[in-house]
Amino acid sequence: MSHTDETFEGQTALVTGAAGAIGRAVAETFAIMGARVVLADRDEQGLRAAVDKLRTDGLDATACAFDQSNPESIDHLFTDGVGDRLDICVANAGYGRVAGILDQDLAGWRRHVDINLTGTFLVVQAAARRMVAGGGGAIVLNSSSAAIHSTPMFGAYAATKAGVEMLARCMADELGPSGIRVNTVCPGVVETGMTGGLLNHADGRMRQIMVDHTPTGRIGEPQQIAHVITFLASGAADYVTGTALLVDGGQTLRGFPRWHAPSRNSANGSNTWQLITEESR
């Protein structure tokens, strides 16, 4: 059976960050393929809109608002939202902000760690415990090409996403004997709310720079990431675990994504960083 022929009938899938572009596409794809989907996000309005759309289409979807930076909220997600049975977990929720290494404050660093690393760990740990009790399952963590490719001015984001990747490898090793597969997807630049402001900078010149440095000649779409995630969760990938799958249109082959470039400060001779759209003027 091919991936496109497969269904997830009778299975429960949890998707965090489900009010965002990628999470919403993932949840919709699982629901169309027959899964009961629990959508989780801290954006209650966006979450409700996503669930209402799926239900209008006759699909099985449930909303559960939660804050991934709050361990008690994560407990609530699993006790009241997920319940005892879980077959698939997509740990998609994340956080990213621009800051140079020398300027990154402790509060901002901790927020990246709390959401991207600690929060992700608590989500997948709770998911794995249910899967062990249920005889197995599949977990997919959403990382980033920044986890494997230096992205200046995104140090906190990149470091925590790299941590997510190693977490997935350790989980795959430990949990394989329990019938649980754990993989990571590493998107490059994709059309989302997080990237929209940067892509549209300087009247769209940033977007063109990214396209020019992407071998496939286009920016990624959320649905493309969703297809990869559902594949990794499917029986078609039942011999795949501990893998980090780069989905970036080849951007890293050309040293991208890279939003900033160094600029010499004429006053003191030091380097500062500016958006590459400024460099290309």
User: What residues are annotated to the active site?
Assistant: 157
Task: In whole angstroms, give the CA distance from residue 5 to residue 235.
Answer: 11
Considering only the C-alpha atoms of the chain, give the largest distance between any 2 of them, rounded to a whole number of Å: 65
Which is nearest to 208 in space by CA: 280, 263, 153, 261?
280
DSSP state of 177: G
Structure tokens at 251: 């951007």
Please give the C-alpha separations between residue 138 and each of 99, 132, 194, 262, in angstroms, as whole numbers. 34, 11, 27, 42
Please give the C-alpha separations between residue 31 and each of 67, 130, 168, in angstroms, as whole numbers. 23, 21, 24
Please give the C-alpha separations between residue 5 and each of 27, 32, 153, 171, 227, in angstroms, as whole numbers. 18, 12, 42, 28, 13
Q: Which is it for the CA torsion 92, 97, 100, 104, positive or negative?
A: negative
DSSP state of 38: E
Structure tokens at 247: 């989905």
Phi and psi, residue 96, nearest 5°: -150, 135
